[in-house]
A and B are shown apart, each in its own frame.
Chain A
Amino acid sequence: MKNKHSKWLAMPFTVWATIFIIIPLFMILYYGFVNGEGTFTWENILAIGEPEHLKALGISIVLSLIATVICLVLAYPLAMILSRLGINQNSFIVLIFILPMWMNFLLRTLAWQTLLEKTGVINSILSFLHLPALNIINTPYAIVLGMVYNFLPFMVLPIYNAIIKLDKDVINAARDLGANGAQTFTKVIFPLTLPGVISGITMVFIPALTTFVISNLLGGGKILLIGNVIEQEFTQASNWNLGSGLSTVMMLFIVISMILSSIFDKDGEGGMF
């Protein structure tokens, strides 16, 4: 559907994005590059180098990477199993993953507290069965669990969507040509579903990187993530300049994800289009 007029179709988004994404972005950049008196400074940007901020950023990256990997490992086989249930059930499967999110995020996260606490539901069940208690509340494990719980649907859906679009003939052809199960998967199925995987990774990693509610409620506020720092600067400290500066630095991750997806795109352009 190459069509020279289709360019115009980008207009609504371009206009919308300019007004509601780019202009506000420049407002944030402005705050990020001035101090309280309104004079130019690099201070707020370089503040990322301060030990507390670097540490918070490091922990955030590590925890969200772990959560992303767990989501991917859980989601891929799940999507494959679900895809075999038959094409008619598409919307049903999408909804079944999204439905839990229709209970408010805060309520769901609080419910995890009720489940995980020392005297919580899971531990009551475990002690009733004479099993050792599960003590992960207020630790990084609980934060990762919270991230996986909240963002898993974002990984399952794009992968599921990619898998059900797979041409069965391609898989059969691979088999006919002598590929075993593992080879079919690594050489055919996985590469063909890569766009879904990439968008899944983006949709999990990026929101996980800036979350602060999960670390407050499930991590007991004992682990400072970069999201917590930014949130604290805006709300508790009323220091919009530093908050904006750190947010600006976080935009680097958009650039990185952009570079990553363009690398994978290059792969794709040969076989996919």
Chain B
Amino acid sequence: MKKFIERFYVAIIFVFLYAPIVTLMVLSFNQSKTRSKWGGFTTEWYSALFKNDAIMQALYNTLFIAIASSVVATIIGTITCIALYNMKSRTRNAMLAVNNIPMLNADIVTGISLMLLFISFGMRFGMETILLAHITFNIPYVILNVMPKFKQLNPNTYEAALDLGASPIYAFFKVILPEIMPGILSGFLMAFTMSLDDFIITHFTKGAGVDTLSTKIYSEVRKGIKPEMYALSTIIFLTVFVLLLIVNVAPAQKEKRMALEREAAKNGIIKKSLFKPRTKKWMNRIVAVILTIALIIGSVQLYKKSGGTNQVVVYNWGEYIDPIVLEMFTEETGIEVIYDEYETNEVMYPKVASGATQYDIVCPSDYMIQKMLENDMLAEIDFDNIPNIKHIDENYMIQSREFDPENKYSVPYCVGTVGILYNKTMVEEPIDSWDVLWDERYKDNILMQDSVRDAFMVSLKRLGYSMNSTNPDELEEAKEDLIAQKPLTQAYVVDQVRDKMIGNEAAIGVIYSGEAIYTQMENPDLEYVIPKEGTNVWIDSWCILKDAPNKENAEAFINFLCRPDIALINFEYITYTTPNVEGRALIEDEAIRNSEIAFPDLSKYENLETFRYLGEDADRMYNNLWKEVKSE
């Protein structure tokens, strides 16, 4: 009975640990790209995966960084533990406290502080900086795992070894090391795992074009994580799992057989054992060889600099361009594209501002362009090099003047509105106003945007104020309304609106128009509306950075993207509205070409605005009010 309870308990824990893993594995066979809907069985993501060079390169980088950083961290961590073991407890505790710092600090604090450190050293951002950062946050895990083993050591065995004539080093390897080995092993594995999993610190310490799986996954968040990632995770998981079984089960069986044979030999049935207890050593050697090879290849990779000078360094939103377009550009112009991705304006800004990586061209949103302009970070674009600007809708050029008054610094790339996405089967009447987000009937069925400006935009617009208001009274009123709304909201989300709405998880959600087209394709019950009180017209535009080393190449790149056929390719990939009039005319599907959601006639709506940068003080006011809402 006791045994049964024990087994049951272990089983429950494993179900708990592995339920999400199984979920992800199932999703890797899901035809639909959204996690909340089963679209039928497919293996297409697996074949797509192996054709995707970017993911394969990211996988390689990830493994190299994880192996190298955890090997170094394990070595440093273990020898540190030897020293700590011999220290006075006060010194030891001080060092352990220092050791805990990287674990306690929020990742973003560690990430930004390391970025500042590397900049002050004048280091080139790339694989090396990621490695240094990963070793730094891996050491604590090793020390925390190895230290308890030292505390449990019986010092007498070591003394005994010395008395029997062993040198200290020999005694360490023969007596101490086997005792602490389990701690070293779990420390190494934990370090490896943390390195595999880290995103924020990697983001701030990496150079352009160096991606790990984590940075790839996070950059996909805004546009929805591609099932290829589930497929890759499944493969990694199963590979390790199978290896694990082979390594552990095989020797166990062999040992059993050996024991039997020994027994037999004793009884004189067999004279000599056929099996020698070599398996473990043999296995260790293979692992060592594999590790060494991986490290050597990695180090070679590390110093393989991107040779060509004829290049352009692009920093764009994740999943915000069809990769084929980059290839076409290089083929036609001979300019090599170094491509890097971010997932919010706010994460992009400090990286560009710090100059950690020398980018040529970025794609910020409206208010961020204004902020960069005010901080003198952008270069005037030479429009003689961009004749294709004529294809861009005049309306959006005019709208751009909100943040770029003379249309000198930015070229619109993707545009859209913010509106309400609702499920026709879950609401009682057609929706046309922000008021519905305050309607008691839809309690727990409302999804609000989880970002300061977007949330306040909804509240301010509903009250009839400007969404760029800096009037404290208006903001206070908007805040009170948001607090009143809080009990009605199911969740504050950013990118999850898409999946939750497709999965019928909520009736109403605030969403970006570009996502609306996609959600409707996945769930025909969904409808998108621009509320009558007005809304935000957002514009993501290409800008060239002030000290861009390859300014002309950057202009050639923008010009290329403004070509109608290229705009069409990108529209079909991104599904966000293109301001390219000629490009739109090329869309074959009439329903989409004339879609009110994709291409709204802005003149039909009133009170449309575009976000402006309001300055640091106003930003702070907004943030403090938002904190009051969120902590309510």
Residues of A at the B interface (CB closer than 8 Å) are 1-3, 6-10, 12-14, 16-17, 19-25, 27-28, 36, 51-53, 55-56, 74, 77-78, 81-82, 88-92, 94-108, 110-115, 117-121, 138, 149, 152-154, 157-158, 161-162, 164-165, 192, 195-196, 198-199, 202-203, 206-207, 209-210, 212, 216-217, 220-222, 224, 227-240, 243-244, 247, 250-251, 253-255, 257-258, 261-262, 265-266, 268-269, 272-273
Q: Given A25-B101, A220-B491 in contact, is the A1-B85 Cβ separation under 8 Å?
A: yes
A221 touches B450 (CB 8 A): yes
Note all chain A residues with C-beta closer than 8 A to B505: 117-119
Query: Nearest 3 CB-CB pairs, A to B?
Result: A220-B491, A221-B492, A10-B83
13 other contacts beyond A1-B172, A21-B102, A78-B9, with CB at 8 A cut-off? A9-B80, A13-B76, A22-B98, A25-B113, A27-B116, A81-B9, A88-B252, A104-B196, A104-B197, A106-B217, A138-B491, A161-B148, A262-B89
* Closest chain B CB from A212 CB (angstroms): 7
B24 touches A21 (CB 8 A): no
A149 touches B450 (CB 8 A): no
Query: Chain A: interface secondary structure?
Result: helix
Show 10 A/B contacts (Cβ-Cβ < 8 Å), sorted by A.
Answer: A20-B114, A99-B244, A100-B17, A103-B21, A103-B233, A106-B225, A111-B19, A111-B23, A240-B112, A251-B101
Q: Does B264 contact A (CB under 8 A)?
A: no
Indicate which residue in A216, A254, A258 contacts B450 across the interface (CB closer than 8 Å).
A216
B100 touches A254 (CB 8 A): yes
B17 touches A224 (CB 8 A): no
B155 touches A273 (CB 8 A): yes
Contacts of B149-163 to chain A: CB distance below 8 A = 149, 151-153, 155, 158-159
Note all chain A residues with C-beta closer than 8 A to B241: 99
A10 touches B87 (CB 8 A): yes
* Closest chain A CB from B119 CB (angstroms): 11
Note all chain A residues with C-beta closer than 8 A to B87: 7, 10
Indicate which residue in A17, A115, A212 contacts B106 across the interface (CB closer than 8 Å).
A212
The 0/1 profile, CB within 8 Å of A marked 1, for residues 213-256 of chain B is: 11001100100010001100100110011001001100110010
A111 touches B349 (CB 8 A): no
Query: Chain B: interface secondary structure?
Result: helix
Indicate which residue in A10, A97, A247, A251 contacts B84 across the interface (CB closer than 8 Å).
A10
A160→B628 CA distance, assembly (Å): 43
Note all chain A residues with C-beta closer than 8 A to B452: 236-237
A126→B620 CA distance, assembly (Å): 46
Note all chain A residues with C-beta closer than 8 A to B197: 101, 104-105
A273 touches B151 (CB 8 A): yes
* Closest chain B CB from A254 CB (angstroms): 5
Q: Given A115-B20, A149-B16, A228-B630 in contact, is the A250-B104 Cβ separation under 8 Å?
A: yes
Note all chain A residues with C-beta closer than 8 A to B628: 52
B24 touches A107 (CB 8 A): yes
A99 touches B101 (CB 8 A): no
Q: Given A247-B109, A253-B104 in contact, is the A100-B21 Cβ separation under 8 Å?
A: yes
How many B residues face the partner with a CB closer than 8 A? 131
Q: Given A52-B631, A138-B490, A251-B101 in contact, is the A3-B17 Cβ separation under 8 Å?
A: no
Comparing B139-147, B534-542, B556-564, B568-576, the segment that makes contact with chain A is B139-147
Q: Given A10-B83, A27-B113, A224-B627 in contact, is the A206-B104 Cβ separation under 8 Å?
A: yes
* Closest chain B CB from A245 CB (angstroms): 11
A56 touches B106 (CB 8 A): no
The 0/1 profile, CB within 8 Å of A marked 1, for residues 284-300 of chain B is: 00000000000000000
Note all chain B residues with C-beta closer than 8 A to A8: 83
Q: Does B398 contact A (CB under 8 A)?
A: no
A10 touches B630 (CB 8 A): no
Note all chain A residues with C-beta closer than 8 A to B9: 77-78, 81
Note all chain B residues with C-beta closer than 8 A to A196: 148
A215→B346 CA distance, assembly (Å): 20
Note all chain B residues with C-beta closer than 8 A to A164: 182
